[in-house]
Amino acid sequence: MKQKPPKVMRSANGRSGGETHQTTTSDKQALTTNQGVPIADNQNSLKGGVRGPTLLEDFVLREKITHFDHERIPERIVHARGSGAHGYFQPLKNLSRLTRASFLQDPSKRTKVFVRFSTVAGGAGSVDTPRDVRGFAVKFYTDEGNFDLVGNNIPVFFIQDAMKFPDLVHSVKMEPDRGFPQSASAHDTFWDFVSLMPESMHMLMWAMSDRGIPRSLRHIEGFGVHTFRLVNAKGVSTFVKFHWRPGLGMASTLWDEAVKIAGADPDYHRRDLWQAIDSGDFPEWTLNIQAFDQVTADELDFDILDPTKIIPEETIPLTPIGRMVLTANPVNFFAETEQIAFHPGHIVPGIDFTPDPLLQGRLFSYLDTQLSRLGGPNFHEIPINRPVCPMRNFQRDGHMRMNLQPGRVNFEPSSLDPGSPRENPVRGFSSFPDPEGGPKLRQRPATFADHYSQARQFWRSMTPPEQGHIVNAFTFELSKVETPAIRKRMLGHLDLVEPALGKRVAAAMGMTGQAERLMPAVTPRDDLPPSPALSIVAKTLETLKGRTVAALVTDGSDAALLQKVRLAVRKEGGQLEVVAPRIGAPKDGIVPDRQLDGAPSCLFDALVVLPSRDGARELLGAAAAVDWLRDGFAHLKAIGFSGDAGPLLAKAGIEADPALGVVALDGSRGLDAFLAAARKYKIWDRERLVRPQP
């Protein structure tokens, strides 16, 4: 980012850049603190300079977030529904050139980790598959203390400043007067908020894309979101963005598929992760970084401190630095997955912060939340949170204190106990001396004001099917909004993101020509090239590894053919589950894994239909069997079938067509053709038949 004078763009109501709805406020309407002090700016935290760090003296921010952090007990306010696992991290090379962090030095050294994946908006009892952001938090138990990389499966966020975080979450949570909808953003309060926050547009594009409805937790990417620093032993700082890449590649569901999975198995993602680890099919990710210096940061045409922006991989490629493998499920869900306490302020020597205003607020908020959720300041003594390295300090007592610390000295300096802990200027953590600074103010830099250009780049980076899904997602969400003015306002934003997007959503809702005309603070750029790395479809791996094929059988099915399919799927790294009309005593040597009524095809990645002739006649009268095939076809899954399945396919309205992934298993090449189709995960050429795009 080229250096610019520290000017700011502010509207009359104190916001920066792009807001079009200003109001006047009487004394009776004045927003105040809980002490009655009128608030002049509810949009920006107090910083030391326009790009400087957030100041601890900001009592408005602290009061607002403190109250927000303590609103619910004991469930997490956000990320309440989570699934976790133990594993290890191992660096791929020595990174001493970039950082002094000890766990990144030795490629032969493994560091214990615990990972928690989560949805954001729903409560602990909500389902796994709503359209939502997924949390991706990793606790590294290093020999220099715990390091928490607390991120999401999307690299940007809705807001630029932590001051707005309580407002964002309040808007997306259940509406306070009615207590619904649960775990859903398709309602007035959320879209009212984001339609008044142009900075949310980039994140909305990601959330409305297929990233919001992943196939499983094993198929998601992870991001640190913010720009951090790596600092080496010489004190040299390098900016860094953290990226997790799944070994299985990325995969998502379709919206109709996600909805049906929620009804068929609310614990779909949790069960998938547990079963994979339990069976020894350990999920893994590669940790990658985008590392760059101040000179490079100055040359970028956006601000690296803005959490609503990404650095395209085509601009700064990813560098793999480590591998993480999850190898063990929790022994006790509550004691581990529920009580683990993540905090972006848990860092180790060699890793440091930047004055990103969203990150700065998180550094306060997470610690404050743990005090409420886990009962007091000693949450670090709970086994799942306890560092593996020694803890030595003079903190004493407090609720649920467990460590027994002998002696009379609980202060420093002291001469009474020469063996008591002392500061270590050599090995101890020292903050990087960031040169940013300036007057105390509540403003955002002008470099944060472009809210549409990267959102447009994201749209143009999607394949046609993915663009169609984004259109459908916006259409579904906005059609649930009861207030016409909010729908019109959002259509105005979509016109600014990409006119074609706005027109397609408006047409799908019957609101052509009704978009509110909005004036952006910065005209969206039209010259940003597409970034193929942003597309799920473009990066999907052609593999059956980590995927499940379902075989629908009946009495009299060909056991030899079933075994042939099973062995072929297993050889590809996948697994096969047998579905039958009844799960009772096996016949013909075939043992069902699931009963048809409880195993809809949305739970599987590919299908084979192997009924006997008499069994096919029986299935013709079973709605579950016909829907099993119809849904599989509509959800773009590869379908293999034996000759006796012909009448069942005909009733479901499905014709054999290898080009569309409907493959007869008869003959020497039939199974190979089916496997080739199943490796693709989705048969995108079929979508034009089942889901014409608006």
Residue 576 token pair: 């096969």
192: its two tokens = 């009212």
Quote the tokens at residue 497.
Answer: 């993101």
Task: For residue 99, give both structure tokens.
Answer: 């950082």
pLDDT of 17 > 60? The answer is: no
CATH 2.40.180.10: which residues of the chain? Answer: 75-364
For the beta carbon of residue 145, count every other beta carbon within 10 angstroms. 18
HSE value, Cβ hemisphere, 13 Å, CA-based, for 262 = 20
Report the percent of the chain where pLDDT is more than 70. Answer: 95
Confidence of residue 3 (pLDDT cuts 50, 70, 90): very low
pLDDT of residue 500: 97
Pairing relation of β-strands 606-610 and 639-641? Answer: parallel
pLDDT at 27: 64
User: Quick check: 285 and 246 in contact, CB under 8 A?
Assistant: yes
How confident is the prediction for the chain on average, in pLDDT? 92
Of 31 and 57, the one with more pLDDT:
57
586 cis-preceded (ω within 30 degrees of 0): no
| pLDDT in the model for residue 584 | 87
Q: Please state the φ and ψ torsions of residue 271, each to the nearest 5 degrees.
A: -65, -40
- Percent of the chain with pLDDT strictly greater than 90: 79
pLDDT at 128: 97
CATH code 1.20.1370.20 region(s) in the chain: 450-538
Q: Residue 36 above 80 pLDDT? A: no
pLDDT at 421: 84
Please state, in angstroms and rounded to a whole number, the distance separating the CA atoms of residues 592 and 586. Answer: 7
Q: Which CATH architecture has domain 75-364?
A: Beta Barrel (2.40)
405/397 Cα distance (integer angstroms): 10
Both tokens of 299, joined, read 């040359």
pLDDT (mean) for 589-615: 96
Token pair, residue 514, equals 């009704």
Cβ contacts of residue 573 below 8 Å, gap of 6+? 543, 544, 545, 546
pTM metric for this prediction? 0.91
Q: What DSSP line would sit under 55-81, residue for residue?
A: PTT-HHHHHHHHHHHTSSSSS-SSS-S
- State the Cα torsion 569-572-575-580 to the nearest 10°: -20
3-state class of 318 per DSSP? Answer: coil
- CATH architecture of the domain with range 450-538: Up-down Bundle (1.20)
pLDDT score for 395: 83
Using only C-alpha atoms, what is the Rg of the chain?
27
Q: Return d(Cα 193, Cα 172) in angstroms, integer.
A: 9
Cβ neighbours of 610 (radius 10 Å):
24
Mean pLDDT of 210-234: 98
**Rounded CA separation 529/317 (Å):** 15
| Amino acid at residue number 173 | K
Any idea which residues carry the catalytic annotation? 79, 152
Where do the CATH 3.40.50.880 domains begin and end in the chain? 542-690
CATH superfamily of 542-690: Class I glutamine amidotransferase (GATase) domain (3.40.50.880)
Higher per-residue pLDDT: 257 or 410 = 257
* Pair of tokens at residue 107: 């490629």
